[in-house]
């Protein structure tokens, strides 16, 4: 695939969340941004569920609440990932249940393997080599990719064993960042996880951001622009998009809500209760925020200089 | 001098911290390993460099992170980059001295499972998966495994082989050109185990105070090598416990222990 850059004539790429999500067809393949507790596009996951999307395949290193929402509600049925859990709290209960039920299939890789698959996709080469995975069941067992999961070969140059993983060029990349201008110049504070490679490997890139800033602000700190606008197809301005997780310099995780989420997902009934109250029972992301309450949310706002 | 009172978590954190050496590059993760690495920095290993796989380099968190990507890792670190940097440029290039991992199952060569319980075709439980675990186990110079000691976890055969220990014994890491040296120690709430240099099979190293060799043997499902002399694991000092609580003042990981 040769990925066309976006046309420079488009000065304003901002669209609402529901319109961005409508562009994702059932069965689409999506690179999923954020890492662990940091910058996960959780509001995008909830909107995919509200729009009854089905049979999505999600590619990421490690995700937590968002993966639980998409697996639990049946929006995504396949995951090519390295890690899923709610760190510090415990196992990912929804994924755990759906895997046992056979409704969700996980193709297991490692974090570096997934990051290399995105790098390969972004570089437009078919595979990338790495020194992990060999000798283990990640090589020996495949869930659905079969021979196309990975390959261990003798290096044609040195003769040493090396593992090749197939590049990923999904239909969409979805990444949540701190700031963006209306053209799509996206600035990330703190770690990027695998989002540099991931944002450039998809056929279309949707950037969500906590805050809309002017072009002057972008050009004043150009070193913070981790995703230049020329890669970006759509921009969605979406404050608190990572709640109950965190966004550096904007807000901290909501441990109380996170613990409620994790304990409710222990049972199917509990998960259905959460799903109805916080996702299906609200019209959109803003009604979700209203339900959480602004007094509560304000307490989570990041304090300087800590950033959380 | 040993502390008069300590709880299990304080004991294990102090025990793990003694395995971190000065000047080493350490993947600390979260939980007890993170506290152990921070404690080592505050005591015998001030020049140890703490790295989080999410991209934080030389981290000195003021509050303990819950996630490897937690914002708490950001304030005070010397660089904040990404995964290709930490797992690729640093780890895969052979520059991580010690990594910490947990395990749901371990076999006698220190190979670990963090992915499935039950058969792969029809799993009983989906565990978190490798994360960076396989990368760290493949390429860190040394690996410290920490786990709770339950008999069902110390198995003859793993349900799923996620991350490499010493695979099938001598020569097998070389066969796959692995960058790292594999596990050097396993720390549980009963004992410390290391690996017999000839066979690379797991070997009892020390038992914790109040635990007997027989207690340990009753709680593994493979033949554990037991040397003639098995010392008792040293207890934490009051200084170590005080520092731990300064690092985790709200008891996120330490609970209310020691008070």
pLDDT digits (tens, 9 = 90+) for A47-83: 999 999 999 999 999 999 999 999 999 999 999 999 9
Stretch B159-177: mean pLDDT: 97
Phi, psi of B40 (to 5 degrees): -60, -40
> Is residue A235 within 8 Å of A207, Cβ to Cβ?
yes
Environment class of A77 (CB within 10 Å of its CB; exposed 0-12, middle 13-18, buried 19+): middle
Does the beta-carbon distance from B123 to A160 stay under 8 Å?
A: no
**What domains are there in chain B, each with its CATH number?**
1-96+235-254 (3.40.1080.10), 98-233 (3.40.1080.10)
Task: Quickly count: other Cβ atoms within 10 Å of residue B202's Cβ.
Answer: 27
Domain boundaries, chain A: 17-110+169-299, 127-166
Q: Which pLDDT does position A30 carry in this prediction? A: 98
Which residue has tokens 């010397």? B78
Question: Using 50, 70 and 90 to split pLDDT, how confident is the model at A10?
Answer: confident
Active site residues of B: 53
pTM over 0.80: yes
Rounded distance, CA A246 to CA A308, Å?
Answer: 8
Determine the number of helices (DSSP H) and then strands (DSSP E) in chain A: 12, 15
A contact test, residue of B82, B118, B124 with most A CBs within 10 A: B82
ipTM above 0.95, yes or no: yes
- Chain A, 168 to 227: residues with Cβ < 8 Å from chain B are 190-197
Rounded distance, CA A192 to CA B87, Å?
Answer: 13
> Is residue A267 within 8 Å of A280, Cβ to Cβ?
no
Rounded distance, CA A275 to CA A93, Å?
Answer: 14
The CA-based angle A281-A282-A285, given to 5 degrees, is: 145
Stretch B199-211: mean pLDDT: 98
A contact test, residue of B120, B128, B140 with most A CBs within 10 A: B128
Of A132, A114, A115, A194, nearest in space to B135 by CA: A132
Nearest by CB to residue A132, choosing from B74, B115, B139, is: B139
Contacts of B73 in chain A (CB under 8 A): 191
B174 interfaces chain A, CB cutoff of 8 Å: no
Task: Please state, for a pLDDT cut of 90, what percent of chain B lies above it.
Answer: 92
Stretch B47-69: mean pLDDT: 95
Give the helix/strand (H/E) hosting A260.
Answer: helix A255-264
Q: Which residues pair with B185 in a beta bridge?
A: B144
Q: What is the mean pLDDT of chain B?
A: 95
Residue of chain B nearest A118, judged by CA positions: B84
Stretch B20-45: mean pLDDT: 95
> Is residue B42 within 8 Å of B247, Cβ to Cβ?
yes
Q: Which pLDDT does position B2 carry in this prediction? A: 83
Rounded distance, CA B8 to CA B13, Å?
Answer: 9
Q: Which pLDDT does position A239 carry in this prediction? A: 98
Rounded distance, CA A277 to CA A284, Å?
Answer: 12
- pLDDT of B259 > 80? The answer is no
Stretch A33-59: mean pLDDT: 98
Rounded distance, CA A193 to CA A128, Å?
Answer: 18
Domain A17-110+169-299, what architecture? 3-Layer(aba) Sandwich (3.40)
Of B60, B59, B24, B38, nearest in space to B184 by CA: B24
Environment class of A52 (CB within 10 Å of its CB; exposed 0-12, middle 13-18, buried 19+): exposed
Kindly report the nearest CA distance between residue A9 and chain B, in angstroms: 32
pLDDT digits (tens, 9 = 90+) for B97-128: 999 999 999 999 999 999 999 999 999 999 99
pLDDT digits (tens, 9 = 90+) for A278-298: 999 999 999 999 999 999 999
DSSP string, chain B: -B-S---HHHHHHHHHHTTPPTT-EEE--SHHHHHHHHHHHHTT-TT-EEE-TTSEES---SS--SSTT-GGGTTT-SEE-BHIIIIIIIIITT---EEEE--SEE-TT--EE-SEES-TTS-SEE----TTHHHHHHH-SEEEEE----GGGB-SS-SS--B-SSTTSTTHHHHTT-SS--EEEEE-SSEEEEE-TTT--EEEEEE-TT--HHHHHTT-SS--B--S--PBPPPPBHHHHHHHHHHSTT-TTTTTTT-
Contacts of A87 in chain B (CB under 8 A): 30, 66-68
- pLDDT of A2 > 70? The answer is no
In chain B, the N- to C-terminal Cα span, in Å, equals 19
> Is residue A109 within 8 Å of A165, Cβ to Cβ?
yes
Q: A295: Cβ–Cβ under 8 A, 6 or more apart, which residues?
A: none
B228 interfaces chain A, CB cutoff of 8 Å: no
Environment class of A276 (CB within 10 Å of its CB; exposed 0-12, middle 13-18, buried 19+): exposed
Kindly report the nearest CA distance between residue A186 and chain B, in angstroms: 16
Of B181, B144, B200, nearest in space to B15 by CA: B144
Left if phi > 0, otherwise alpha if psi is -120 to 50, otherwise beta: which for A135? Answer: left
């Amino acid at each position: 695939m040769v990925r066309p850059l976006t046309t420079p004539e488009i000065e304003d790429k901002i669209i609402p969340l529901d319109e961005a999500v409508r562009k994702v067809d059932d069965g689409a393949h999506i690179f999923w941004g954020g890492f662990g507790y940091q910058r996960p596009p959780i509001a995008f996951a909830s909107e995919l569920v509200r729009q009854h999307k089905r049979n999505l395949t999600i590619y990421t290193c490690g995700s937590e609440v968002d993966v639980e929402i998409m697996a639990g509600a049946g929006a995504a049925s396949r995951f090519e990932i390295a890690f899923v859990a709610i760190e510090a709290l415990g196992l990912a209960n929804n994924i755990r249940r759906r895997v046992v039920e056979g409704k969700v299939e996980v193709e297991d890789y490692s974090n570096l393997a997934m990051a290399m698959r995105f790098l390969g996709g972004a570089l437009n080469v078919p595979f990338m080599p790495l020194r992990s995975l060999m000798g283990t069941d990640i090589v020996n067992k495949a869930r659905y990719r079969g021979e196309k999961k990975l390959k261990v070969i003798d290096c044609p140059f040195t003769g040493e064993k090396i593992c090749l993983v197939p590049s990923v060029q999904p239909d969409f990349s979805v990444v949540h960042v701190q700031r963006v201008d209306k053209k799509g110049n996206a600035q990330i504070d703190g770690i990027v996880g695998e989002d540099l490679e991931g944002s450039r490997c998809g056929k279309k890139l949707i950037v969500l951001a906590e805050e809309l800033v002017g072009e002057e602000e972008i050009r004043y700190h150009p070193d913070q622009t981790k995703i230049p606008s020329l890669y970006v197809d759509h921009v969605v301005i979406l404050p608190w998009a990572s709640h109950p997780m965190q966004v550096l310099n904007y807000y901290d995780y909501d441990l109380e809500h996170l613990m409620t989420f994790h304990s409710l997902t222990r049972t199917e009934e509990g998960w259905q209760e959460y799903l109805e109250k916080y996702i299906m029972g609200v019209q959109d992301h803003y009604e979700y925020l209203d339900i959480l309450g602004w007094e509560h949310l304000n307490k989570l706002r990041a304090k300087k200089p800590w950033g959380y | 001098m040993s502390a008069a009172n300590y709880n299990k978590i304080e004991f294990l954190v102090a025990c793990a911290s003694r395995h971190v050496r000065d000047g080493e590059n350490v993947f600390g993760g979260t939980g007890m390993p993170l506290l152990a690495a921070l404690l080592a920095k505050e005591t015998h290993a001030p020049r140890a460099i703490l790295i989080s796989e999410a991209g934080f380099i030389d981290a000195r968190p003021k509050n303990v992170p819950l996630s490897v990507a937690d914002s708490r890792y950001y304030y005070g670190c010397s660089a904040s980059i990404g995964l290709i940097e930490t797992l690729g440029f640093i780890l895969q290039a052979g520059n991580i001295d010690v990594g910490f991992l947990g395990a749901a199952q371990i076999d006698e060569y220190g190979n670990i499972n963090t992915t499935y319980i039950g058969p792969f075709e029809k799993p009983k439980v989906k565990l978190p998966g490798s994360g960076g675990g396989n990368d760290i186990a493949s390429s860190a110079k040394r690996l410290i495994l920490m786990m709770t000691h339950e008999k069902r976890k110390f198995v003859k055969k793993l349900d799923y082989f996620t991350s490499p220990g010493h695979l099938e014994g001598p020569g097998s890491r070389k066969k796959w050109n692995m960058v790292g040296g594999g596990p050097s120690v396993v720390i549980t709430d009963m004992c410390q185990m290391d690996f017999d240099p000839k066979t690379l099979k797991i070997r009892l190293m020390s038992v914790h105070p109040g635990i007997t060799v027989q207690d340990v043997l009753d709680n593994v499902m493979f033949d554990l090598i037991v040397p003639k002399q098995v010392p008792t694991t040293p207890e934490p000092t009051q200084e170590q416990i005080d520092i731990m609580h300064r690092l985790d003042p709200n008891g996120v990981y330490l609970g209310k222990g020691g008070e």
